[in-house]
């Protein structure tokens, strides 16, 4: 139970807290940029305003307001609010809070909202410890995660919760947060003026992350020029760049963004767009992606999507992979870029992929087929009755009409060459029923 002394203690801590903490919204109306999640008519807004919240998992990128929204719940509902961080929390911590919540409910009828930050970091046994408490209504769980909960959170826990997704903030949302922080008494209290190009720089560097935007603003204010005639210090673009020289990238090498970006990279090369391929390559490099992982994907694409339309692509991809192994960053980025643009510009064919898939399907599902006698191994008794094998090099064209496929399978049943690049020559030859 809070008293005068705890309130004074909270106020003292708040006064020295980072700007991003001081500017946390206190009401739903102060939430920025999440109209779909908490706007008028949304399930979550109605649940909070009517104090009828059930367990919910807030899912979205960093800096979108998940923790802030949890604190709005604390301020807007009558339930006791307790917090456990999955970073350092244990099963014992959870059970202690659940036991305390059960006592509150039994003795005074007071419900408890249990906020779990980074819930995806809890292992399965820790998540399982929550199940009965959530199911029996002992606690209303509010979980926050940057990862897709359907992959990272126990399915039983998901089935007992509502999933609410928060989106990355738009540029105009970031600008609104910045301007509010400049003037609000909890923030910079009107002591600074911000140049227009400085505001644009903060928006760009934030990358949709509100926390990064406010942190950058606070750091830049420490480098502001002396007060002007209006009594305000001036925050310039140069101060912003010095405070945060690199843009914040929403890229996690092992999670959703990782898979989204590599997927876009592959599809851009397959779609013959070298500019898009370079963009996604740059995202991965700046995000610290393993160059061997990138090179492996290029290697696979060379066979899967280019194949014999340009057999040279496989050699280029192999060279890129070796460079990633023996050279590494920063130099191998150039070789990766060359390989990626080569793949994007190369003629495309997936005939090899489709061919092996069709052949494997036949082997798995078709009847057992006998190797034609002329092709069978000759190192066994009775092989003289197999019939003559026609040696192609004994013929002027280096080719002779001869059955290679087992009976029941005919030419073109698996490999159907395309009409682009080197493979087009084989396409023409197939039409004439002979090789070039």
Over 246-310, what HEC string results? CCCCCCCCCCHHHHHHHHHHHHHHHCCCHHHHHHHHHHHHHCCCCHHHHHHHHHHHHHHHHHHHC
Radius of gyration of the chain (CA): 32
**Residue 167: strand, helix, or coil:** coil
* Confidence at residue 229, expressed as pLDDT on a 0 to 100 scale: 60
d(CA 25, CA 216): 18
- The phi and psi torsions of 98 (rounded to 5 degrees) equal -65, -40
Of 17, 66, 35, give the one whose Cα is nearest residue 209: 66
pLDDT digits 0-9 by tens, 132-170: 899 999 999 999 998 888 888 888 899 999 999 999 899
State the pairing for strand pair 162-165/80-85.
Answer: unpaired
pLDDT digits 0-9 by tens, 342-368: 999 999 999 999 999 999 999 999 999
Are 19 and 214 in contact, with CB atoms under 8 Å apart?
Answer: yes
Worst-scoring range by mean pLDDT, 18-22, 142-146, 164-168, 283-287? 283-287
pLDDT digits 0-9 by tens, 192-227: 999 999 999 999 888 888 999 999 999 999 999 887
Task: Give 358: exposed, middle or buried? Use CB within 10 Å, 0-12, 13-18, 19+.
Answer: middle
Query: Token pair of 191, please?
Result: 């002591």
pLDDT digits 0-9 by tens, 101-128: 999 999 999 999 999 998 988 888 888 8
The pTM of this model reads: 0.61
């Amino acid at each position: 139970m809070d008293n005068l002394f705890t309130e004074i203690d909270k106020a003292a801590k708040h006064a020295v807290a980072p700007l991003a903490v001081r500017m946390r919204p206190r009401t739903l109306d102060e939430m920025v940029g999440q109209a779909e999640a908490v706007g008028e008519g949304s399930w979550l807004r109605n649940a909070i305003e009517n104090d009828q919240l059930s367990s919910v998992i807030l899912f979205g990128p960093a800096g979108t307001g998940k923790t802030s929204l949890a604190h709005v719940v604390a301020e807007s509902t009558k339930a006791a609010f307790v917090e456990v961080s999955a970073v350092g929390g244990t099963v014992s911590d959870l059970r202690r809070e659940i036991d305390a919540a059960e006592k509150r409910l039994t003795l005074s009828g007071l419900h408890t909202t249990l906020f779990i930050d980074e819930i995806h970091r809890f292992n399965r046994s820790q998540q399982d410890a929550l199940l009965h408490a959530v199911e029996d209504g002992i606690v209303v769980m509010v979980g926050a995660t940057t990862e897709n909960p359907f992959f990272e959170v126990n399915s039983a826990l998901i089935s007992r919760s509502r999933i609410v997704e928060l989106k990355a903030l738009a540029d105009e949302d970031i600008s609104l947060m910045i301007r509010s922080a400049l003037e609000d008494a909890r923030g910079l209290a009107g002591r600074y003026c911000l140049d227009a190009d400085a505001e644009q720089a903060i928006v760009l560097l934030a990358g949709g992350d509100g926390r990064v935007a406010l942190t950058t603003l606070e750091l830049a204010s420490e480098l502001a020029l002396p007060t002007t005639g209006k009594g305000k210090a001036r925050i310039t673009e140069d101060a912003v760049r010095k405070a945060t020289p690199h843009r914040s990238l929403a890229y996690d090498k092992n999670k959703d963004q990782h898979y989204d970006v590599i997927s876009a990279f592959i599809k851009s090369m397959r779609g013959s767009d070298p500019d898009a391929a370079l963009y996604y390559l740059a995202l991965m490099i700046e995000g610290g992606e393993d160059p061997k992982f990138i090179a492996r994907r290029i290697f696979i694409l060379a066979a899967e999507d280019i194949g014999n339309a340009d057999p040279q692509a496989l050699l280029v991809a192999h060279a890129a992979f070796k460079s990633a192994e023996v050279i590494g960053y920063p130099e191998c980025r150039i070789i990766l870029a060359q390989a990626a643009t080569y793949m994007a510009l190369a003629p495309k064919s997936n005939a090899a992929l489709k061919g092996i898939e069709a052949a494997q399907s036949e082997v798995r599902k078709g009847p057992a087929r006998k190797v034609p006698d002329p092709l069978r191994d000759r190192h066994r008794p009775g092989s003289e009755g197999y019939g003559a094998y026609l040696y192609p090099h004994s013929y002027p064209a280096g080719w002779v009409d001869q059955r290679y496929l087992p009976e029941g399978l005919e030419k073109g049943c698996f490999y159907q060459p395309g009409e682009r690049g080197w493979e087009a020559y084989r396409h023409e030859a197939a039409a004439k029923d002979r090789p070039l």
